[in-house]
Copies of this chain bind each other. A is one copy, B any other.
Amino acid sequence: MRKTLSYDTTKKAEVIPISEDLKKIVAESKVKNGTLIAYSLHTTLGLMIQEAVEQYLCEDIIDQLTKIVDDDGEKYKHTCARHPSGTCKNDDVNGPSHIRQLLCNQNVLIDIKDGEMNLGRWQDVAILEFDGPRKERKILVKIVED
């Protein structure tokens, strides 16, 4: 079973919890024992398992990633317009957004046990937007029965 989740983001950088959406997909699948695979279909949008419903932690994450990979345009060479396909005209410097995504995770793997996601007490799944606001940011979700 394969499904795509889509989110409109509203800020340059933000964390949006999506565990509730994943729970619905698991329930729909009727899979009792299996594995959920989910991954971001974008290069500036991450996916993580963290204490993601605690909004202050999410702010700390964004703050620290912005400190670790700073926004000083002088340092970065990448623009989307430099992609060899030539199909992107955007010459904004968004290298930092890509590198922040690389430092985080891009996929999650979750065991499904007795029809539920087998996560720890404080674990939730969330997307990490690093280059918003953007419309229709997509996460592919796949459930494979054991």
Interface residues of A (CB under 8 A from B): 2, 35, 37, 39-43, 48-51, 53-57, 59-61, 63-64, 68-69, 75-80, 82-84, 95, 98-99, 101-111, 113, 118-120, 122-123, 138, 140, 142, 144, 146
Contacts and interface: CB of A to CB of B under 8 A. Distances in A.
7 contacts: A41-B119, A43-B122, A51-B78, A53-B83, A56-B77, A56-B78, A59-B77
A136 B94 CA distance: 33
Contacts of A98: 50-51, 57, 60-61
Contacts of A101: 50
A78 B102 contact: no
Contact of A50 (B56, B84, B102, B113): B102
A72 to B, nearest CB: 11
A91 to B, nearest CB: 11
B123 A140 contact: no
A78 B60 contact: yes
The 6 A-B residue pairs with the shortest CB-CB distance in the complex, in nearest-first order: A41-B120, A57-B78, A56-B77, A60-B95, A43-B51, A56-B78
Given A49-B106, A105-B106, A109-B37, A120 B82 contact: no
